[in-house]
Amino acid sequence: MARPLRYQIWSRHIGIIILALLLAFAGSYMLIRQYVLEQRTADLVRKGTGLSLLVAASRQQEDGYRELRQLVEVLDPFLDARIWVVDRQGGILALSGDMMPPAAGGMHFNHGDAMPHGRGMMQGQGPGRGMMRQGGARLAGPLQEVLQGQIVKRTFFHDFYQEQMLVVAVPVPGAEAGSIDGAVVLHVPLQGVEEWLQRVRWHLGVVAVICLLASLLVGQRLSRQIARPLENLRQATQHIAGGEYHRRVPVEGPAELADVAQSFNAMAASLEKSALEMEKQEGLRRDFVANVSHELRTPLTIIRGYNEALADGTAPEQQRQQYHALIRDEALRLERLIADLLDISRLRAGVVEMERECILLQSLVAGVVQLVEKLAQEKGLRLETKLSEGLFVYGDGDRLTQLLLILLDNALRHTEQGGVRIESGRGADGRAFLRINDTGHGIPAEALPYIWERFYKVDKAHSRDGGGTGLGLAVAKEIMNLHGIEVEAASIVGAGTSFTLRFPPDST
């Protein structure tokens, strides 16, 4: 089973931090140790060079050996180093500390067996032949290069002192130019340096532990900041998969995760809108099926009932003509219903052939007014027009005629007194408009968004008195969509309704 992302981020962060701290600790310690040793070595070289000049001068004294011994004894505490003076063959002439040879005899050692190559010391020859040689003891192998005139710097375990030493050997110049008359060898125990470095290691360790603890806290917070938005996204995704489209996630965390959260919320909002739209469409589909069933069943029931009455002879003779007329009217109603349904389907599918042309809006309205004038007269309603001259629109003449006929017929059928007024003109934006105002019953504000739906009727009782199919405004909406016409409906219950059609700019 995979570990949670938070712990993966945290563990990897800590692993990298620990590795970085180890490398930093080791690197810092090595650099400090190297720096300390280099500084100590440089100091010994500087002091050894000065001492070599003093040793070279002391060889001119009558009692050179005594002068040399006194010199190294005096300088030992000041140089903080053990001093050896050797002749040109590498034989040891003098040592500082408690292992110095007697003035008139050979050198003696507290640990003679630890002296490299030591076989006891013999009194040397006078200063006239160079430095005095006290015996057969020689320099250790690694330091022999000093007798070639080179400054030698070494760190090794010293057999004589039985500890790790930093050794610097400086050649002693001879009387002749370029000649070497011996060497001065300075020994510094590394124990003190190592003790100081141990304290450095301890301080570095404390700093590393503090940094590690701080990185643990930072890593935990960082992993939480990264993992928490992702966990929120995971949970929200599961809820949305279960149909809870209202779920949203907080916009938090780094910029990239915040962008993901914003995109997720936008997607969720789109899904919620789509789900609501689908629910709405499903409701409309159910209503459509119910309405179609109702609209078809009612005339069919009427036709069948009257037809059976005529067929079995139960209809009175004086009402037979009336029954035939009712059957004919219901058949025509069915025909109009089917025609409207087919028309809507063709308009929505875009398979209608449109013969677009420039049409004088004044002539188009005048033609439609003539078609509905008889209906207005029958209901005692006024038909008023206020049309701008020379205003052209671009579209299919038959479809635009059908559109205006539907709107005017609908206005007249829902108006009991007063009348209908038609205006046209050009708006402030330069677009042509056509406005149809009636003084009818009016439409409630909550019903206005749905008047373009198929079979939608403000009268929930589906009154058949008007003779309509309930598809007129749906057909009108499809025609307006094909022509790019924008429509605005406004209504006041008991005062009337207004439809304003705005034609697209390229149609005028």
Model confidence pLDDT, tens digit, residues 461-487: 545 555 556 778 888 898 899 889 999
Helix (H) or strand (E) holding 363: helix 361-379
Helix (H) or strand (E) holding 345: helix 320-349
| 287-304 residue pLDDT tens | 777 767 766 777 788 788
pLDDT of residue 113 exceeding 50: no
pLDDT at position 382, please?
92
CB 59 within 8 A of CB 176: no
What is the rounded distance in angstroms from the CA atom of residue 388 to the CA atom of residue 432? 10
Does residue 133 carry a pLDDT above 80?
A: no
> Which residues, other chains included, contact 120 with Cβ-Cβ below 8 Å and sequence gap of 6+?
106, 107, 112, 135, 136
User: Residue 124 pLDDT more than 60?
Assistant: no
Which of residues 274 and 469 earns the better pLDDT score?
A: 274
- Note the pLDDT of residue 294: 67
Model confidence over 242-261: pLDDT tens digits?
A: 888 888 888 887 787 788 88
Tens digits of per-residue pLDDT, 70-86? 777 777 777 778 888 88
Q: Is pTM beyond 0.75 here?
A: no
Across 431-446, average pLDDT: 91
The number of C-alpha atoms within 13 Å of 310 and in the hemisphere containing its C-beta is 16
Residue 380, CA distances (Å) to 359, 386, 451, 499 in order: 31, 20, 26, 22
Number of H helices, E strands in the chain: 8, 12
| pLDDT for residue 415 is more than 60 | yes
202/117: higher pLDDT: 202
Please name the residue that has the structure tokens 């006024």: 382
Mean pLDDT, residues 198-211: 87
Whole-number average pLDDT of the chain: 78
pLDDT at 140 over 70: no
